[in-house]
Amino acid sequence: MKFSDTALVALVSLAGSVSALSPAGWRSQSIYQVLTDRFARTDGSTTATCNTGDQIYCGGSWQGIINKLDYIWISPIVENLSGNSGDGEAYHGYWAQNINAVNSNFGSESDLIALSVALHSRGMYLMVDIVTNHMGYLGCGTCVDYSVFTPFNSQSYYHPFCLIDYNNATSIKVCWEGDNTVSLPDLRTEDLNVLNTFETWISGLASKYSIDGLRVDSAQQVDNAFFPPFQTAAGGMHILGEVFNGDPAYTCPYQQYMSGVLNYPAYFWIIQAFESTSGSISNLVNGINTMKSTCSDTTLLGSFMENHDNARFPSLNSDLSLAKNAIAFTILQDGIPIIYYGQEQHYSGGGVPYDREALWLSGYSTSAPLYTFIASVNQIRNQAIYKDSGYLTYKAYPIYSDSHTIAMRKGNTGYQIIGVFSNLGASGSSYTLTLTSSETGFTASQSLVEVLSCTAYTTDSSGNLAVAMAGGLPRIFYPTAQLTGSGVCSSITATTTTTSSTACATVTSVAVTFDEKVTTTVGQTIKISGSIAAFGNWDTSAAVSLSASQYTSANPLWFVTLNLAPGAVIQYKYINVNSAGTVTWEADPNHTYTVPATCATAATCLRTLKCTPDASSLNRPRSLNFTLSTDVKMHSRRIVFKQTTVSKLHTIYGR
């Protein structure tokens, strides 16, 4: 069971006004999950005390999230019970008492609307974490005062009290989660009046806060027939249901009732494979193949390795190489990647409540090893999506395995990512692993890039790939031809320009011309918004206007020339601003461009250099997902880390 104080956020480009994002639209997103109370405070403090063992509110807020939008996402939003107990306070957001009001500990309705507006103005999507299974009461199950709940204020809305026996299927549906300290009255979601109330509620909630996706807490405890009409009432937006069970035969069938679920089966196999140097790779191999044949669509599942209900991975093993393998596998397997806040800082809290640390105590470091690592892996995923949309629906599968290694392929030939993952750990020896052409799909003498180390590889005359393994680190390969000009490993993939000069003067700026051909109507202006000050730092009000001086109906050209610092790496997108000031973002992903820094290139490009759109990284609003929890859980779409040429994954969950 999860608390509704979580939320997910995604940066994505929007065509026109914001609307619910379909399941298919969510495939290309990445999610960063955060507990609102533990992500950022309104005052911006990075020293405020937060003892996870106390299980009380620590001061995180929606305004705090707004202040850190270059980094994050959120948890459930509705009003929870007040008061402390042996189980702590409702800081997680999963003990709702009034689903029609927001949790004032996180801010006001206007604050939440401001957060939604701030997200969407950056091209992000908002996913909310919600609870439809139960309410929350400070007291025993047999002494509940049902009049305190809104709108379900009568005992007739609830099943009779009994604590769940998870060995009994009926008990899971009709008995109560929680305990007799904080009881969780179980709603009769099979009753039409309960369903109708929730349908009206979710329709209004989605409209009021411009929500794009939902994470549904305790989904397996809800009546199955509840979800199809509920998802329809939510505008058909994607749902990720929490079915806390590691058996594919139990979890996968829930896709008959909602579009997606959290991939708990894969979660358990990933942990088993990489939590130690003697982990079970074979269970992971067999499990991935089982999921492909059992689930109706693994590409719509939520892929994760940490959350607020499970001990953080580093609490099991602090080895950084093992963590990198587990994270990379999570991001590159089928489904929508979900990063749990603090994962990028290598937080190591154990089980609940110690896995709910205050992120501000990390100082929001953007140079932490796992922060930059996650950004790099997410970047290559987005490049693969940009180059071939078929990547999203291609089912990943194991191409090689041994007792310590699993190699995976995802993507059509010519656009495939080959990932090699090991559980040898940081002390693992150096060796060479040869993958055959029949395993990888690579051809003879094909040029490849290992994107984590930015090392150039070439297959042999038979197409075989000799992978240099060392230090237990993962390896991720992608065709060089699909990376040219992308900003990924620009030292070996950038387009170069040569001159006959043997020497040239040092340049301090490069004149870069940005061209955009797009048909517009009277009153519309094309602008460019991006990750550097010259582009407004993603603030659309400070975006740079392009000129239409050469615009014709046959050649609808908008352009602008800017002097930029050599070597600067830029994330940017074009926006269309109408006469009323309404902003429309172009489609995902972000463009990424590296300003030439070599002597010859700078000398040649002082006049004009055409920028080639690069979608390899997701540093910008277009692919960021955000999840919010209130008392109702909110989720958002994509995570984008504040780093050059990288996308952030931001999703927030609550518990």
The 3 state secondary structure assigned to 102-137 is ECCCCCCHHHHHHHHHHHHHCCEEEEEEEECCECCE
**Out of 350-354, 401-405, 622-626, which region has the weakest mean confidence (pLDDT)?**
622-626
* Residues whose CB is less than 8 angstroms from the CB of residue 4 and which lie 6 or more positions away in sequence, other chains included: 75, 76, 77, 78, 80, 92, 93, 94, 95, 96, 129, 130, 131, 217, 629, 630, 631, 632, 633, 654
Quick one: pLDDT band at residue 13, thresholds 50, 70, 90? very low
CB 586 within 8 A of CB 356: no
Quick one: pLDDT band at residue 78, thresholds 50, 70, 90? low
Identify the CA nearest to 617 among candidates 519, 516, 501, 487: 487
SS3 269: helix
* pLDDT at position 77: 55
Beta bridge partners of 467: 433
* Residues whose CB is less than 8 angstroms from the CB of residue 151 and which lie 6 or more positions away in sequence, other chains included: 99, 100, 197
Identify the CA nearest to 37 among candidates 113, 94, 85, 87: 94
- Provide the phi-psi class of 591: left if phi over 0, else alpha when psi is between -120 and 50, else beta: beta
Tens of pLDDT, residues 288-318: 999 999 999 999 999 999 999 999 999 999 9
**Out of 35-44, 414-423, 637-646, which region has the weakest mean confidence (pLDDT)?**
637-646
What is the 3 state secondary structure string of 593-634? EECCCCHHHHHHHCCCCECCCCCCCCCCHHHCEEEEECCCEC
Length in residues, the chain: 655
Beta bridge partners of 78: 102
102 vs 649, residue with greater confidence: 102
Paired tokens of 346: 């290598």
Which helix H or strand E contains 304, and what residues bound it? Answer: none
* Residues whose CB is less than 8 angstroms from the CB of residue 585 and which lie 6 or more positions away in sequence, other chains included: 12, 13, 14, 15, 123, 573, 575, 621, 622
* pLDDT at position 640: 29
Identify the CA nearest to 538 among candidates 595, 467, 479, 620: 620
* Residues whose CB is less than 8 angstroms from the CB of residue 255 and which lie 6 or more positions away in sequence, other chains included: 261, 295, 296, 297, 300
Under DSSP, the state recorded for 454 is T
For the segment 416-422, the average pLDDT, to the nearest whole number, is 98
What is the 3 state secondary structure string of 318-341? CCHHHHHHHHHHHHHCCCEEEEEC
Strand order in the sheet with 336-340: 31-35, 336-340, 302-303
**Out of 346-360, 525-539, 580-594, which region has the weakest mean confidence (pLDDT)?**
580-594
pLDDT at 440 over 70: yes
Residues designated catalytic? 217, 242
**Out of 188-197, 342-351, 430-439, 606-615, which region has the weakest mean confidence (pLDDT)?**
606-615
Mean pLDDT over the full length of the chain = 84
Quick one: pLDDT band at residue 92, thresholds 50, 70, 90? low
Cβ burial, residue 520 (10 Å; 0-12/13-18/19+): middle
Strand order in the sheet with 417-422: 397-401, 405-410, 417-422, 475-479, 447-450, 455-458
pLDDT at 53 over 70: yes
596 vs 51, residue with greater confidence: 51
CB 342 within 8 A of CB 33: no
* Residues whose CB is less than 8 angstroms from the CB of residue 268 and which lie 6 or more positions away in sequence, other chains included: 246
**Out of 211-215, 307-311, 431-435, 502-506, which region has the weakest mean confidence (pLDDT)?**
502-506
For the segment 213-232, the average pLDDT, to the nearest whole number, is 97
**Out of 77-81, 96-100, 145-149, 191-195, which region has the weakest mean confidence (pLDDT)?**
77-81
For the segment 53-80, the average pLDDT, to the nearest whole number, is 78
* pLDDT at position 563: 85
Q: Per residue in 366-394, is it b (16+ CB within 10 Å) or e — as a string?
A: beeebbebbbbbbbbbbbbbbbbeebbeb
pLDDT at 4 over 70: no
- Provide the phi-psi class of 364: left if phi over 0, else alpha when psi is between -120 and 50, else beta: left
Q: 10 Å Cβ neighbour count for 624?
A: 39
**Out of 28-42, 268-282, 344-358, which region has the weakest mean confidence (pLDDT)?**
28-42
Quick one: pLDDT band at residue 143, thresholds 50, 70, 90? very high
For the segment 563-582, the average pLDDT, to the nearest whole number, is 86
95 vs 495, residue with greater confidence: 95
* Percent of the chain scoring above 90 in pLDDT: 62
SS3 173: helix
pTM: 0.79
Sign of CA dihedral 615, 619, 620, 623: positive
What is the 3 state secondary structure string of 145-165? CHHHCECCCCHHHECCCCECC
* Residues whose CB is less than 8 angstroms from the CB of residue 533 and which lie 6 or more positions away in sequence, other chains included: none
CB 35 within 8 A of CB 65: no
Tens of pLDDT, residues 146-168: 999 999 999 999 999 999 999 99
* pLDDT at position 19: 55
Which residue in this structure is represented by tokens 């974490």?
A: 129
293 vs 84, residue with greater confidence: 293
Paired tokens of 172: 């899971």
Q: Is the peptide bond before 589 cis (omega within 30 degrees of 0)?
A: yes
* pLDDT at position 600: 34
Quick one: pLDDT band at residue 644, thresholds 50, 70, 90? very low
For the segment 54-59, the average pLDDT, to the nearest whole number, is 94
For the segment 463-487, the average pLDDT, to the nearest whole number, is 95
